Amino acid sequence: MKPGSCRAIVENKRRYTLRRTDLPQCRSSIGVRLNVPKLESPGLVLTAVGITVLAVILFVPPLHQDVSYHSFADQRTIWNMPNFLNVASNLPFLAVGFLALWFIEVQSRNRQIFLDPRERWSYWILFAGVSLTAVGSGYYHWAPDGDRLVWDRLPMAVSFMAFFAAMLSERIKVDVGIWLLGPLVLLGVGSVVNWHWTNDLRLYAAVQYYPLAIIPVMLWWCPPRYTGTGFIWGALGWYLLAKILELSAVGHGLFSLGHLVSGHTLKHLAAAAGAFWIYLFLRNRRYCGQWTALG
């Protein structure tokens, strides 16, 4: 096979070879080739990692919310709005969420975007959560405290789990993602409720970081159903940057440089950029020419 040609990876232990014309964008947007070693039992890998995460949750001491978490570097009031930039920087979530929801509704019958119409539900819930994050986070940052933080974290947890379900549909099997969508979303909601009642962040941390750890594994070893994998890598990169900017030391350090903007404000913008790249994935992806995800 010539360099640059595309190769599909097996379904049910059979191998297919696709012509370049059949699969014009088999490469990801960042040039990652798809002829990577095949992951024979992705379900076993996901299960093993899930058990490991559960063990960590059970045996690691409880993680309590730091009381200084609500003390953000930039607390300036502008136009009678307290914590102005931390509140206003949530508007991109609303813009990206509405844009993506509109696109999903318009393209719901486009089989290049959603080969199986059920696939759109994970993305619909994801971007509904992104839109609600603008409201919940804005409400929290107006007057930060523990009770308001619940409404900041709830829509984010829902979005994390919906995105994970979407990746399961695309990289493992559509039915797996659809079946797990409801339970995963409930797990996300439950993790926030559990933290609020017990002041223990372990389950909420697992909801955030387990998908962040396992999705790159799926992207690398599990064959794609659609083109555009580079956009998912980009979204993960933006989210990783957002988590770095969220660190108190980073947030206060950036604000001290010139008192222009804090790391937490930039964290909102980076997270919204990550959501936008998921929208770009939907907008630009095309069906790979035949079923290539693991059956």
CA atoms of 227 and 239, how far apart (whole Å): 21
pLDDT of residue 20 exceeding 70, the answer is: no
pLDDT of residue 291 exceeding 50, the answer is: no
How long is the chain?
295
- At residue 48, what is the residue type? A
CA atoms of 39 and 49, how far apart (whole Å): 14
- The model's pLDDT over 195-205, given as tens digits with 9 standing for 90+, comes to 999 999 999 99
Helix (H) or strand (E) holding 3: none
pLDDT of residue 12 exceeding 80, the answer is: no
CA atoms of 186 and 208, how far apart (whole Å): 14
Query: In the prediction, which pLDDT does 289 show?
Result: 62
Question: Which value, to the nearest 10 degrees, does the dihedral of the CA atoms of residues 161, 167, 168, 170 take?
Answer: 150
- The model's pLDDT over 37-89, given as tens digits with 9 standing for 90+, comes to 454 566 666 767 777 777 777 788 888 988 888 999 999 999 999 999 999 99
Token pair, residue 209, equals: 């970081």
Residue with tokens 């980076």: 270
DSSP string computed for 60-103? SPP-PPPGGGG--S----BTTBTTHHHHHTTHHHHHHHHHHHHH
The answer to whether domain 42-60+73-284 has CATH 1.20.1070 is yes
Query: In the prediction, which pLDDT does 42 show?
Result: 63
Domain edges within the chain: 42-60+73-284
Statement: the pTM of the whole predicted model exceeds 0.75: yes
Query: In the prediction, which pLDDT does 49 show?
Result: 72
Q: What is the average pLDDT across 243-268? A: 93
- The model's pLDDT over 194-235, given as tens digits with 9 standing for 90+, comes to 999 999 999 999 888 888 888 998 898 888 989 999 999 999
Highest-pLDDT range among 6-15, 28-37, 178-187: 178-187
Give the residue with greater pLDDT, 153 vs 26: 153
Mean residue pLDDT across the chain: 84
Query: In the prediction, which pLDDT does 278 show?
Result: 97
Query: In the prediction, which pLDDT does 40 show?
Result: 53
User: What are the distances in angstroms from CA 209 to CA 52, 155, 183, 245, 289?
Assistant: 13, 16, 17, 16, 33
